[in-house]
């Protein structure tokens, strides 16, 4: 019996969906309300008896499971918990406690692995799975207009580098039609920056997760983030939908050695990559996706981690 606690970017939900049919599981979900994140969450965790517990995000979800004696416990870091919460005077103490006390630590992207290893040498990178039943390729829609570019990640200059994307796209503004989703702390700043550069943006409303594929299918090329050097879920799901993705992937991470487009940070280079994005690039990206982020690949690794964690606790 696997107890999946909370979620992040639908990773937990996808992992459960693709577990072998003989594996029983329960997903402990919560909302954003203060009760649901505290007493309500503790009550849900307390009432579950499982062979292994898998907590997403290294804050209260993981901490409560530890305090309630739910072991063996896997703490799964997803980014901001190690990039920012770890530095917070209060939340940082909780994150550090979870890093040290969990029976196993997983990270969702290579850029936070080194941070996790400062506390746990046995921390491992588990690639995020992509639900290929929801996100799957569709042929490009033929059209005679400008190249259709979708900025699909939320507007966040510090984390996603949306400002870098806007500046790069403005260099080819006469050759592209650009859409952006109304989401993120820097959405208004992004619109203002685009206006100042003479770049028109089509504004799209936020949609449920599975509906994002409609946006991907309507684009010729998808733009993701340019700050972290790691692949986000936007990139992975857009590639799964049959669209080439332009994003910054750092060559310093060996996990990305087979990804075809790396170290893309300079605005001029980003603009050129957008204009040159084609079926050939997508095929290479899709090959990488299938070899590293297909559910069956990720689940095989996860089950091995579960077995090792259970064995180490028993010993």
Q: Is the pLDDT of residue 315 over 70?
A: no
> Rounded CA gap, 140 and 133, in Å?
19
Same domain, 194 and 93: no
Domain tally, the chain = 2
Q: pLDDT over 90 for what percent of the chain? A: 92
Answer yes or no: is 13 within a domain. yes
What residues are paired with 5 via a beta bridge? Answer: 28, 55
Answer yes or no: is 133 within a domain. no
Same domain, 59 and 174: no
> Rounded CA gap, 86 and 120, in Å?
14
- The closest of 217, 297, 216 to 255, measured between CA atoms, is 297
Same domain, 25 and 119: yes
Answer yes or no: is 56 within a domain. yes
Same domain, 255 and 302: no
Q: Is the pLDDT of residue 314 over 70?
A: no
Per residue in 221-239, pLDDT (tens digit) is 999 999 999 999 999 999 9
Per residue in 68-81, pLDDT (tens digit) is 999 999 999 999 99
At 141, is the pLDDT very low, low, confident or very high (cuts 50, 70, 90)? Answer: confident
- Kindly give the residue spans of alpha helices, DSSP state H, lying in the chain: 11-17, 34-37, 39-46, 60-67, 80-83, 91-101, 113-117, 162-170, 187-196, 212-217, 233-240, 267-276, 279-292, 295-314
Same domain, 69 and 172: no
Same domain, 96 and 218: no
Same domain, 256 and 208: yes
| Residue 190: both structure tokens together | 């992004």
DSSP labels, 68-111: TT--SEEEEE-SHHHHTGGGSTTHHHHHHHHHHHSSEEEESSGG
Check which CATH number belongs to the domain holding 118 and give it: 3.40.50.2000
Q: Which domain holds residue 207?
A: 147-292
- The average pLDDT across 47-72 equals 96
Answer yes or no: is 140 within a domain. no
Same domain, 229 and 113: no
Same domain, 284 and 302: no
Taking the CA of residue 301 as centre, how many other CA atoms within 13 Å lie in the half-sphere pointing to its CB? 14
Task: Mention every residue, 6+ apart, whose C-beta is less than 8 A from residue 305.
Answer: 74, 104, 106, 124, 126
Same domain, 99 and 151: no
| Residue 246: both structure tokens together | 């332009």
Answer yes or no: is 138 within a domain. no
- The average pLDDT across 129-152 equals 94
- The average pLDDT across 52-81 equals 96
Task: Mention every residue, 6+ apart, whose C-beta is less than 8 A from residue 69.
Answer: none
pTM here? 0.95
Same domain, 55 and 151: no
Contact 255, 125 (CB under 8 A): yes
Answer yes or no: is 192 within a domain. yes
Answer yes or no: is 274 within a domain. yes
Per residue in 160-218, pLDDT (tens digit) is 999 999 999 999 999 999 999 999 999 999 999 999 999 999 999 999 999 999 999 99
Phi and psi angles of residue 258, each rounded to the nearest 5 degrees, phi first: -95, 0
Same domain, 206 and 97: no
- The average pLDDT across 263-292 equals 97
Answer yes or no: is 96 within a domain. yes
């Amino acid at each position: 019996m696997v107890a999946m606690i909370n979620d992040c970017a639908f990773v937990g939900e996808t992992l459960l969906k693709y577990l072998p049919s003989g594996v029983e599981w329960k997903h402990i979900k919560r909302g954003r309300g203060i009760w649901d994140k505290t007493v309500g969450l503790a009550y849900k965790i307390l009432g579950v008896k499982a062979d292994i517990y898998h907590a997403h995000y290294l804050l209260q979800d993981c901490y409560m499971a530890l305090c309630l004696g739910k072991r063996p416990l896997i703490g799964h870091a997803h980014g901001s918990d190690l990039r920012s919460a770890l530095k917070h005077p209060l939340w940082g103490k909780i994150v550090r406690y979870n890093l040290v006390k969990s029976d196993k630590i997983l990270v969702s992207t290579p850029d936070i692995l080194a941070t996790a290893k400062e506390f746990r040498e046995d921390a491992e990178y588990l690639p995020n799975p992509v639900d290929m039943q929801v996100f799957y390729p569709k042929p490009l829609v033929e059209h005679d207009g400008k190249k259709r570019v979708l900025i699909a990640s939320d507007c966040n200059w510090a984390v996603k580098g949306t400002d870098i994307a806007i500046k790069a796209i403005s260099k080819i503004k006469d050759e592209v039609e650009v859409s952006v989703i109304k989401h993120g702390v820097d959405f208004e700043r992004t619109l203002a920056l685009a206006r100042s550069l003479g770049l028109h943006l089509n504004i799209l409303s936020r949609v449920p997760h599975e509906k994002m594929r409609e946006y991907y299918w309507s684009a010729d090329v998808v733009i993701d983030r340019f700050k972290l050097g790691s692949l986000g879920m936007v990139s992975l799901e857009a590639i799964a939908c049959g669209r080439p993705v332009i994003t910054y992937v750092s060559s310093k991470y060996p996990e990305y050695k087979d990804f075809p487009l790396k170290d893309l940070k300079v605005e001029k280079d980003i603009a050129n990559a957008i204009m040159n994005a084609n079926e050939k690039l997508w095929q290479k990206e899709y090959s990488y996706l299938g070899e590293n982020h297909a559910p069956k690949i990720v689940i095989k690794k996860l089950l091995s981690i579960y077995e090792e964690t259970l064995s180490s606790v028993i010993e």
